[in-house]
Structure 1
Amino acid sequence: MSRRISAKKTKRTENFDPIYQNRLVNMVLNRILKHGKKSLAYRILYRAMKQIQQKTEKNPLLVLRQAIKEVTPRLIVKPRRKGGSTYQVPLEIKPKQGKVLAIRWLLEASRKRLGPNMESKFSSELIDATKGKGTAIRKKEETHKMAEANRAFADF
């Protein structure tokens, strides 16, 4: 019997984080992770959540969800070769892939911010994203503009 069939049957399940018992928080936690230092990733995330709680006086989990919802793109642009030229083709993406992109963009934007500690940069970026501003929101808007501009190549 081939291994492929048995490999397809097993689905990978996402774990919950220990404090908030949420899969989305675990996804963010695993994206923060660098060089296998999970304890550092936990510290960064939970301190950022505490700062969000202090700054906004709202549930930090709701702020995180809203920020990711605001940054999640509906369309992306992928290069496709046709003949000798390359076209930027707009594609709709699945919600899970959109969440992954949103988390990646939020973390990239927070890493580029000025400041000494990652906790404050990440919490500020999340708060800005919920308000509809910030670098991650700008990245989403740029992606949507590119997709609109290249709508003529959607047939490819």
Structure 2
Amino acid sequence: MRKAKKKEKIYFPDPKFHDPLVTRFVNHLMKNGKKSIAYNIFYNAMKRIDVIKEKEEKSSLEIWKEGLKNVMPHVEVRSRRMGGSNIQIPIPISSNSRITKAIKLLISCASIRNEKTMSKKLAYEIWDAFNEQGEAVKRKENIHKMAEANKAFSHFRF
């Protein structure tokens, strides 16, 4: 191999839920190093999900994890120059990259919503992802459609 294997980053658990995945999500949500604001946004979104869920027996953290799982893409297309043209080659994604892509999709789709505060935007986007609707799920499906359309080029990957 040309490159050495990358060290896997260790995330410490967050103060409220004691889950390292929450810390990872908050790190992506954070802007300009303001982690306490990012934690406040996330925790307020979790409180709002508790209000939104009516007859759902799952906790807000379980709803968030389920929504994150629904947004995770399993393949992606990478551009590769073959001959004189660029072709899109579908490539399976590692589990670590899946989580990162799902987090980024959720946050970016939440930020373009029309609600007033970021915690409201995030809560409603998580709720939509949990119910397998919303912009983040549509983007994931578009990624899968692109990979399906270019399945003929999958033998070019190496």
Moved over 3 A (4+): 8-12
Tell me which residue corresponds to 1:45.
42
Match of 2:147 in 1: 147
Normalising to structure 1: TM-score of the pair? 0.91
Aligned position for 1:135: 135
Task: Measure, in 1, the Cα distance between the counterparts of 2:138 and 2:148.
Answer: 15
| Total equivalences in the alignment | 151
- Specify whether residues 10 and 82 from structure 1 end up closer, same or farther in structure 2 by C-alpha distance, changes over 3 A only: closer
Deviations along 1:83-123, one digit per CA (max 9) or x if unpaired, are 22110000001111111101100001100001220000000
C-alpha distance in 2 between matches for 1:10 and 1:151: 32
Map 1:108-123; keep pairs closer than 5 Å: 108-123=108-123
Partner of 1:61: 61
List per-residue Cα deviations over 1:68-95 (Å, max 9, x = no partner): 1101011101101112211000000111
Contact 2:64 2:126 survives alignment (8 Å): yes
Question: Alpha-carbon deviation of 1:10?
Answer: 6.5
**Residue 33 (str. 1) matches residue 30 (str. 2):** yes
Unpaired runs of at least 5, structure 2:
none
In structure 1, list runs of 5 or more residues that go unmatched: none
Higher helix content, 1 or 2? 1
Query: Hey, what's the Cα distance between the residues in 2 that align with 1:125 and 1:72?
Result: 14
What amino acid is the match of 1:99?
Answer: I
Structure 2 counterpart of 1:55, one-letter code: I
Over the matched positions of the two proteins, sequence identity in percent amounts to 38
